[in-house]
Amino acid sequence: MQYEPVMGLEIHAQLNTNTKLFCGCSTEFGAEPNTQTCPVCLGLPGVLPVLNKEAVELAIQMGHAIDAEVNKTSIFARKNFFYPDLPKGYQITQYEEPIVGLGHIEIEVGGETKRIGITRIHMEEDAGKLIHGAGMEDASASFVDLNRACTPLIEIVSEPDIRTPEEASAYMKAVHDIVVYLGISDGNMEEGSFRCDANISVRPVGQKEFGTRTELKNINSFKFVKDAVRYEIERQIDEIEDGGTIVQETRLWDSAKGVTVSMRTKEEAHDYRYFPEPDLLPLVLEEATIERLKDELPELPAAKKARFIEEYSLPPYDAGVLTAERALADYYEETVALEKDAKAVSNWVMGELLRLLNEEGRKITDRPVTPESLAALVTMVKGGEISNKIGKEVFEEMYKSGKAAAEIVKARGLTQISDTGELEGIIDGILAANSDEVERFRGGETKLMGFFVGQAMKATKGQGNPKVLNQLLRDKLNG
Ligand code: ADP
Ligand code: MG
Ligand code: ZN
Q: Cα 380 from chain centroid?
A: 33
Q: Cα 96 from chain centroid?
A: 31
Name the residue of 96, 199, 248, 268 to mutate for ligand 1: max ligand atoms within 8 A of Cβ: 199
Ligand with smallest separation from the Cα of 12: 2
Phi, psi of 300 (to 5 degrees): -85, 160
**Closest by CA position to 28, among listed 14, 39, 38, 42:** 14
Reported for 144-148, long-range contacts at CB under 8 A and 24+ positions apart, including other chains, are 144/84, 144/85, 145/33, 145/34, 146/33, 146/34, 146/37, 146/41, 146/42, 146/85, 146/87, 147/31, 147/33, 147/34, 147/35, 147/36, 147/37, 148/192
Ligand 1 in reach of 5 Cβ (< 6 A): no
d(CA 272, CA 91): 10
Per-residue pLDDT of the chain (479 residues; tens, 9 = 90+): 899 999 999 999 999 999 999 999 999 999 999 999 999 999 999 999 999 999 999 999 999 999 999 999 999 999 999 999 999 999 999 999 999 999 999 999 988 999 999 999 999 999 999 988 766 677 788 889 999 999 999 999 999 999 999 999 999 999 999 999 999 999 999 999 999 999 999 999 999 999 999 999 999 999 999 999 999 999 999 999 999 999 999 999 998 999 999 987 777 777 899 999 999 999 999 999 999 999 999 999 889 999 999 999 999 999 999 998 889 999 999 999 999 999 999 999 999 999 999 998 999 999 999 999 999 999 999 987 888 888 999 999 999 999 998 888 888 877 778 778 888 899 999 999 999 999 999 999 989 999 999 998 888 887 888 888 888 998 988 87
Name the residue of 94, 105, 118, 157 to mutate for ligand 1: max ligand atoms within 8 A of Cβ: 157
Domain boundaries, the chain: 3-292, 299-412, 420-478
Ligand 1 in reach of 159 Cβ (< 6 A): yes
Indicate the class that CATH gives domain 420-478: mainly alpha
- Residue closest via CA to ligand 1's atom 17 equals 8
- Burial of 365-384, coded b for 16+ CB within 10 Å and e otherwise, reads eebbbebebbbbbbbbbeee
Name the residue of 10, 93, 104, 264 to mutate for ligand 1: max ligand atoms within 8 A of Cβ: 10
